[in-house]
Amino acid sequence: MTEQLDQNAHTANSKTEIYLKDYKPAPYQIDEVSLLFELSGDDALVTALSHFTRSDAASTEPLCLDGGPFMELVSIEIDGIPLKPDDYVKNETSLIIHDTAADFTLKIVTKLKPAENTRLEGLYKSSGNFCTQCEAEGFRHITYFLDRPDVMAKYKVRIEASKADYPVLLSNGNLIKKGQMPNGFHFAEWDDPFPKPSYLFAMVAGKLACLSDEFTTMSGRSVELNIYAAEEDISKCDHAMQSLKNSMRWDEETYGLEYDLDIYNIVAVADFNMGAMENKGLNIFNTKYVLASPETATDQDYNNIEGVIGHEYFHNWTGNRVTCREWFQLSLKEGLTVFRDQEFSSDMQSRAVKRLDDVRVLRMHQFPEDAGPLAHPVRPEKYIEINNFYSATVYNKGAEVIRMMHSLLGAEAFRRGMDIYFERHDGQAVTCEDFVCAMEAASDIDLRQFRRWYSTAGTPKLSFTRECDGDDVLLTVEQSISINGAEIEYDPLHVPIKIAWVDKARSVNGESSENNAPPTLLHLTDAKQTFRFEGVGKNVVPSIMREFSAPVHIDHDLDTEELLTLASFDIDPFVRSDALQTIGRNIILTAAQKLESNEEFHAPESYYSTFERLISDDDTDPAFLAELLTLPGEIDVGQHMQPLRPQTLHKAREFVADQIANRYFEPILDKYNELQAFDECNRPKQQGVRRYKNTLLGYLARTSVGEDILSKQFDNSQNMTDEIAALGLLSSSDFDYRNTALAQFFERWKHEALVIDKWFAVQAVSKRSDVLSTVRSLLKHQHFSFVNPNRLRALVSSFSVLNQAGFHDESGAGYEFLADVVLKVDRINPQTAARLVAPLGQWKRLDHARQLKIQSLLDDLLKKHSLSDDVRELLEKSLN
Ligand code: B3K
Ligand code: ZN
């Protein structure tokens, strides 16, 4: 692919806002589509034959087909008769045909240049192979069509290509026929019996190796499973295959949902805007979420693959069989499917640790989004570019909304609700409202007020205060939402609050971690509400928001000692971990204040001794201990600092971590050595031990043995988890061995693209003060690429999203760096450029000087440059 293309050069007319309230059903339906792809060299000729019927026979509305500026219209005919130039009007985004009949067949031939398509949307080439990405609106770049999800058709596809260059020819559904053609060409015909929207169409033609397996469904049908990847990568597909089989079994056991075609294909491609795509029967994946071997992939990669393979598989029912009426309903399929993949992963590994990981992702990515200029409801009301709404809010907050319904209804009623949802809507394009109605039909829970979660932007803050009344405790809860630093008005949300009481006396005696009353589910429905807990006594601590029962900020009046009681004795892993995180956060924030006023600072002794106790704990799950022993991250703490002072915050956190490391050097080292010797083949156990060990390594890196221990682990590690953990810490250090290790790693792995992504990322998140100049020079590295989204994100997003202190450098150079990159990438790939913009939108949280710098940069970008709709929409919002 070439980089000199300007993918926005055409944007003479920019798109305007589309509103949910303006939705109208499609004027035509298309029931059958036949597509012929003639692939030669780098070109593609596409013949589309579609059968249209007018939805409302009395309507005289002209037929307006969606199209794109990158294809050439070769010919167009209706019922076999070519259209004359006066019969239609064509512009950059549509083709309008006047005087259409109530029922007709349209034949359109278009010519595409997939090798020039760096937008990675529609039909494009990646590593020499043809592939597609049609969600949300990519199909319109292949042919003129009613490219909207409420138009569902049956597709038949024939692909013709050189057999030597493109031996594998795939599309959706089942393979019907394949055969030879003259001149070394061959063909394949695919038929998908399930009506689907155009966004689920897919086609692949390429030179690919294949890993095959088989799955027998619960009704005894045999399904052929294939994972296609480049020849050199095919040995790394076993984990993905196992994850696929586990997903298929899990959906049968959990929801009674069975796979419906004879074949399930997955293709791994190196250039992909997102993680993966759930096209019916032919998933296309970013290689990052398929390929794994212990030498090249971390435990985190293994878990991500399991999660994404599951996610795309689960879409077959939640997304494909039942799809969205329009794109405002995106969370109908995404929130629900994220909830399903989270539950699947929880059943495969440690449920407690998975929940903590999911909460961390939500707080790190969704909470900032919901508090800033890009805040939007789970079901947005308007958009310019729908691709900008594949957001943490639609996905992760959307999943929390489903999870709350699961808590409100209980597992059994929720399952009944899912059954009703499929009974009512299989084969349809529906709304979030339809989903909630199915849940209501399955239970006697009134979800009228709960629905507001779909339309209210911003993260609610729950403030808890306590009062004693004899042996009763009165708990008052207030809810409020702030966006861009200002409180908004909203109709109160229905928030499920899971709460229990932990007995201080028992915990002080160390007798038992049991609580004296079973947890209760409170329904907060007012702006302010008081709940009475009869007879719980004075000697109790409230264990609030167990399992993180709602996506909210938690603000309570618990003191450090009470939090330490929860951290040590609560049985709920979320509350336990959150109690320690809250203390850690308060300590770091106080340390930051003291640093600023040059005062001495000491954390409370009881906090340190809790740490010491945890290090000597041999009974608790090591992965969970790793969580407990990790200080809250800078981004998390930063959300509680006003204005955000990233460098002070960074220094304060380093100070607290150094104190812990030096104080408990010996027990940490002993534990590290003990874990290093641990030998166990069970994967989740092994993972947990590595997670714990590498958390301890983070502390040891700060001590006198730091360089020695990091270099030993780096040199001797047998797997990527340990290797990259050591390299990451070295990369942040001033140790002599740092450069040697980085150079060695590069030499060792320069032929493994996904590993080289990690090499870029560890340098981008470095805590060194020279990180900005390192990142700038890496932009010129011969292995850097603006065209490959994985490589771009490995360097640019790792720096701008994850390296808070580095990105917010006082000079403002971090902002300039990001603005330059956004501009450059926008000319190549607008969707991916838009995904880089968010960090610039956080200026309201910063001091005045930084605010001015970002504002003037945003202003310049908007005024002086031609931008894609994708980037323009986000910059305009960010400036507001
Ligand atoms: N549905 C796709 C995402 C499509 C992205 C379009 N810009 C992947 C997923 O959520 O499963
Ligand atoms: Zn999805």
Of 53-67, 242-256, 417-431, least confident by mean pLDDT is: 53-67
Per-residue pLDDT at 648 exceeds 70: yes
Please report where in the chains the tokens 């047998």 appear, as a residue.
718
Give the Å distances, CA to CA, from 463 to 368, 436, 478, 487, 569: 19, 28, 5, 14, 23
Confidence of residue 228 (pLDDT cuts 50, 70, 90): very high
334: Cβ below 6 Å to ligand 1?
A: yes
Per-residue pLDDT at 2 exceeds 60: no
Residue 55 confidence (pLDDT): 93
Residue 14 confidence (pLDDT): 81
- CATH code of the domain made up of 325-455: 1.10.390.10
Q: What's the token pair of residue 184? A: 């070394």
Element (H, E) at 675: helix 665-676
Instruction: Give the whole-angstrom CA distance, residue 311 versus residue 309.
Output: 5
390 φ, ψ (degrees, to nearest 5): -85, 65
Q: What is the pLDDT of residues 87-132, one digit of tens each?
A: 999 999 999 999 999 999 999 999 999 999 999 999 999 999 999 9
Annotated catalytic residue: which of 278, 312, 478, 627?
312
Residue 3 confidence (pLDDT): 42
Q: Which ligand is located closest to the Cα atom of residue 283?
A: 1
Element (H, E) at 35: strand 28-40
Residue 312 is among the residues annotated as catalytic for this protein? yes
136: Cβ below 6 Å to ligand 1?
A: yes
For residue 609, give every residue at least 6 positions away whose Cβ sits within 8 Å of its Cβ, in sequence order, or none: none
How many alpha carbons lie under 13 Å from residue 644 in its C-beta half-sphere?
Answer: 24
| Beta strand pairing call for 276-277 and 88-90 | unpaired
Residue 48 confidence (pLDDT): 99
Of 3-17, 260-274, 529-543, 838-852, least confident by mean pLDDT is: 3-17
What value does the mean pLDDT take over residues 592-597? Answer: 98
Beta bridge partners of 282: 265
Residue 865 confidence (pLDDT): 93
Of 208-222, 499-513, 737-751, least confident by mean pLDDT is: 499-513
308: Cβ below 6 Å to ligand 1?
A: no
Residue 6 confidence (pLDDT): 58
Q: What is the pLDDT of residues 470-517, one digit of tens each?
A: 999 999 999 999 999 999 999 999 999 999 999 887 654 444 445 556
Q: Which of 132, 133, 135 to mutate to test the pocket of ligand 1 (most atoms within 8 A of CB)?
A: 135
Q: How far is the CA of 188 from the centre of ligand 1 (A)?
A: 27
Q: How far is the CA of 750 from the centre of ligand 2 (A)?
A: 32
Residue 684 confidence (pLDDT): 81
What value does the mean pLDDT take over residues 685-691? Answer: 95
Per-residue pLDDT at 782 exceeds 90: yes
274: Cβ below 6 Å to ligand 1?
A: yes
Residue 518 confidence (pLDDT): 76
Residue 678 confidence (pLDDT): 85
Ligand 1 nearest atom to the CA of residue 276, by list position:
8
Residue 516 confidence (pLDDT): 55
Ligand 1 nearest atom to the CA of residue 319, by list position:
1
311: Cβ below 6 Å to ligand 1?
A: yes
Average pLDDT, the chain: 96
Of 13-17, 73-77, 472-476, 668-672, least confident by mean pLDDT is: 13-17
CATH class of 24-207: mainly beta
3-state secondary structure of 482: strand
Domain boundaries, the chain: 24-207, 325-455, 750-880
| Beta strand pairing call for 81-82 and 429-430 | unpaired
Q: How far is the CA of 318 from the centre of ligand 2 (A)?
A: 9
Among candidates 20, 222, 273, 41, which has minimal Cα distance to 832? 273
Per-residue pLDDT at 5 exceeds 80: no
What value does the mean pLDDT take over residues 605-630? Answer: 94
Write down the architecture of domain 750-880 according to CATH. Answer: Alpha Horseshoe (1.25)
Residue 507 confidence (pLDDT): 53
Instruction: Give the whole-angstrom CA distance, residue 134 versus residue 140.
Output: 8
Per-residue pLDDT at 442 exceeds 60: yes
Please report where in the chains the tokens 């095959």 appear, as a residue.
212
Alpha helix ranges (H) inside 510-572: 560-569
